[in-house]
Amino acid sequence: MTNPLVAYVSGIPSRPTVKVRNGPSTNYDPPMFEIPVGTANLPVLEVRVDEQGTNIQGRTYQWFRLQFPNGQIGWTRDDLLTIGGDGTPYGYGVIVTPTVAGNLIRAFVPNIPASPVAPVGVIPAAPVAPIPAAPIAPVAPAAPTLPSTPTQPVQPVTVMPVTPPAPVTPAPVPTVVVVPVIIPVTTTAPAPVAPVAPVAPIPAAPPPVAPVPAPPSNQPTAIIKTMGAAPTRTGPSTTFPRTSVILNRNGRYPILQVQRENAGQQYRWFQVSNAGQSVWIREDLVTYDGDTFAFGLPTDLYHAPMKDNYWWVRGFNMPPNMDQGLVQHDGWDMGAATGEPIYCGPNGGTVVKTNVCAKCTPDRPNAASSGYDIGDPAIVNDPGWGYGYGTYVIVWYTSAQLPASTCTLLASRGFGDSAAMGVMYAHLAQKIVNDGQVLTPGQQIGMCGNTGNSEATHLHLESRASKSPQFIGWANIRSGVMDDVALFKR
Ligand SMILES: [Zn+2]
C-alpha cells in the first residue's frame, strides 16, 4: 500500500517562507498567505502546468494545489516543494525518496477532467476568478532546477499553457485540453575519451543568471556553482550514495566541515547544511567565502576568472590520482555565455603568450562544427587550431603575484621559493591583450568562447607551476600541470 502524495515546504535557502497563491501561476497576486519552510505532510490535491507557461531553462513550472494546516487550500510552485508518496495520478510515479518536485519531470500531464456542464439557468459555483491584468509580481529568485549533472540538459516540457477562464461570464466552465506529452528519458552521451590536453565540454544550456547575495557575515559558506541544481551525497566521496537533497545553483549553504575524499581522487568534500540536513558536495562544484581558515581552506586564492555567470562543467582529472571512469583532463572547464568577460588575477600578471585561432571561422570555430571528433589529432596537433586550445591567452604570475597559500603549496611540492605559475585561458571567442603586456589587477583579457577542440562555449582553465621565475614555454612546463585549486577557489 503506497502512501498518498504529500508535500513538504522546502523553499529556498534565503527565505523563511513560501508564497501560497489562489491559482497555478504567479499571476495570482497578491498571494493568499505565506507558509513557513519546513511545513510537512501537506496532502496534494492537484498538479497543474503553470498557467503562464513560465519556465526555467526549458522546464515549465508545475503548481501543486495543497491542503494547508490552517484549513485553506492554495497553490505552490514545484521548485519550492519536496514531494513523496504515490504521484502516479500526476505523472510522477511512486516517489519513495522525497525529492524536490522541481527536479522531477512528469511522465505525462493528465487530462483535466471536464467539469460537468451546468444546467441552463443555473449559475454554477463561482469559478476561481483570476485577477485580470494584474502585473506579474517579481518572482522569488528562481531556484534553477536541473537534473543532477550538468551533462544532461533538461528536455523542454512542451505543454499547452492553460488559458485562464474568462472572469466575466460565469457560464460554462471552459474545458481545457492539455495534450499528454511523453517525456523521453534523457540519456548521457558516452564521454569522449580524449587522450591529452584540452577536452571539450558538454553542450551548454542558457546561462542561468542568478545574483549571489552578499554574505551576511563571516560565516564559512559554500556557494553552488553547478549549471543547475547540485546533487549531494551522504559522505565525502562518490562511493557514498546520493541524498535526496538538491542544492540550488548560486545558493549559499553554511559549511559544517571539510574532508579529504576517502577514495580515489584527492578532492576535498564540503559538508554543508541545508534546512537542517547535512549533506556532502565535492569542492569543485562550489566556491566559498567567509572565514574558512579553520577548515583548511585558504582565504587568499583567486576568484574564478569570470564573475558569477559561469558554471561547473568538468574538473581536473589526471594521473596518478585519476578517476578512470572520467575523461582525463588537465584543468577546469567552466561553462558560460559566449562573450562572458574573462579577467586576470587580482595582482595583475604578464601576458606571455597569446594565440588567435587561425583555422577558426565564425561558422566553424571548433572541432565539432568542422566535422572532427573531440580530441582528433587533426585538431590537437595543429598549430592552426592552437593545438586544440583555439584562441587563448597565457598569463604568467610571479611568486610576488601569487597568493601566499599558493606559494606555500608550490614550495611543499618542490618548486622552490621563487616558483611561478602560468595560467592558460583557452577556447576564447576573442582575446583583447597581447604578448608581453603587463596587466593591471583584475584586467579583462578576453571573452569566453567555443574555439578549438570544443563543442560548447566554455573556458578551459589550466594551471602549470614552474621552478623558473621566467616563462620558458608552455610545453616546457608540462610536468608542472596541477589542479587549478592550487590557485583558484572559483
Ligand atoms: Zn578543458
Question: So what's the pLDDT on residue 176?
Answer: 38
C-alpha 200 – ligand 1 centre gap (Å): 6
User: What is the whole-number distance in angstroms between the Cα of residue 406 and the centre of ligand 1?
Assistant: 22
Distance of CA 419 from the midpoint of ligand 1 (Å): 24
Asked if the structure places residue 130 within a domain, the reply is no
Task: Give the sign of the dihedral formed by CA 300, CA 306, CA 310, CA 314.
Answer: negative
Q: What is the distance in A from the centroid of ligand 1 to the CA of 330?
A: 7
More confidently predicted of 451 and 162 = 451
CA of 485 to the centre of ligand 1 (A): 14
Asked if residue 122 belongs to a domain, the reply is: no
Q: Which of 103, 120, 149 is the last residue of a domain?
A: 103
Ligand 1 centroid, distance to 334 Cα (angstroms): 8
pLDDT score for 29: 87
SS3 assignment, position 103 = helix
The C-alpha angle with vertex 429 and arms to 423 and 431, in degrees rounded to 5, equals 55
* CATH code, domain carrying 397: 2.70.70.10
| Coil vs helix vs strand at 114 | coil
Distance 386 CA to ligand 1 centre (A): 14
How many A from CA of 376 to the centre of ligand 1? 15
- Which helix (H) or strand (E) segment holds residue 405: the answer is helix 404-412
Let me know the angle formed at the C-alpha of 53 by 102 and 27, rounded to the nearest 5 degrees. Answer: 95
By the 8 A CB rule, do 427 and 333 touch? no
pLDDT per position as a tens digit, 28-48:
988 898 887 677 788 999 999
424 — phi, psi (to 5°)?
-95, 125
What is the Å distance from ligand 1's center to 365 Cα?
16
**Within-domain flag for 451:** yes
Cα of 22 from ligand 1 centre, angstroms: 48
424 alpha carbon to ligand 1 midpoint, in Å? 10
- Domain edge (last residue) among 57, 79, 103: 103
Using only C-alpha atoms, the chain has a radius of gyration, in whole angstroms, of: 26
* Domain contains 446: yes
Q: How confident is the model at residue 262 (pLDDT cuts 50, 70, 90)?
A: low
In a domain, 410, yes or no: yes
Q: Please tell me the distance between residue 407's alpha carbon and the centre of ligand 1 in angstroms.
A: 24
Report the separation in Å between the CA atom of 339 and the middle of ligand 1, taken as the mean of its atom positions. 17
Instruction: Find the 329 Cα to ligand 1 centroid distance in Å.
Output: 6
The predicted structure's pLDDT at residue 292: 92
Please give the Cα distance from 97 to 250 (Å, whole number): 25
Single-letter code of the amino acid located at 486: A
Q: Sorting pLDDT into bands at 50, 70 and 90, what band is 265?
A: low
So what's the pLDDT on residue 149? Answer: 37
Stronger pLDDT, 41 or 428, i.e. the higher one? 428
More confident residue, 463 or 15: 463
**Sign of the Cα pseudo-torsion (98, 102, 105, 107, in order):** positive
* pLDDT mean over 62-89: 88
Residue 365 lies in a domain: yes
pLDDT band at 463 (very low <50, low <70, confident <90, very high): very high
Mean pLDDT of 360-364: 93
Sign of the dihedral defined by the CA atoms of residues 375, 378, 384, 387, in that order: positive
Q: What are phi and psi of 48, to 5 degrees?
A: -135, 150
* End residue of a domain, out of 68, 103, 138: 103
26 burial class (0-12, 13-18, 19+ CB within 10 angstroms)?
buried
Instruction: State the Cα–Cα distance between residues 339 and 342, nearest whole angstrom.
Output: 9
Cell of residue 29, nine digits: 497576486
Q: Is the pLDDT of residue 395 over 70?
A: yes
Range from 18-27, 63-72, 116-125 carrying the lowest mean pLDDT: 116-125
Q: Which of 204, 188, 161 is nearest to 337 (CA)?
A: 204
Residue 337 has pLDDT above 50, yes or no: yes
Residue 371 backbone dihedrals phi, psi, to 5 degrees? 85, 15
259 CA from centroid of ligand 1 (Å): 26
Ligand 1 centroid to 166 CA: how many Å? 53
118 by DSSP, 3-state: which?
Answer: coil
CA of 199 relative to ligand 1 center, distance in Å: 5
Structural domain boundaries, residue 48: 6-103
- 17, 51, 70 from 54: Cα distances, Å: 21, 8, 28
Q: From CA 13, how far away is CA 206, in angstroms rounded?
A: 23
- pTM of the complete model: 0.58
> Are the CB atoms for 359 and 389 separated by under 8 Å?
no
- Determine the distance separating the centroid of ligand 1 and the alpha carbon of 150, expressed in angstroms: 15
Q: What is the number of domains present in the chain?
A: 2
**261 inside domain:** no
Q: How far is the CA of 332 from the centre of ligand 1 (A)?
A: 6
**Ligand 1 centre from 197 Cα, in Å?**
7
Highest mean pLDDT among 113-122, 221-230, 352-361: 352-361
Show Cβ contacts of residue 281 under 8 Å, excluding neighbours closer than 6 positions: 222, 224, 230, 232, 233, 247, 269, 270, 272
For residue 461, report the distance from its CA to the centre of ligand 1, in Å.
7
CATH of the domain at 19: 2.30.30.40
Closest to 190 (Cα-Cα) out of 373, 390, 456: 373
Please indicate, yes or no, if residue 167 is contained in any of the structural domains.
no
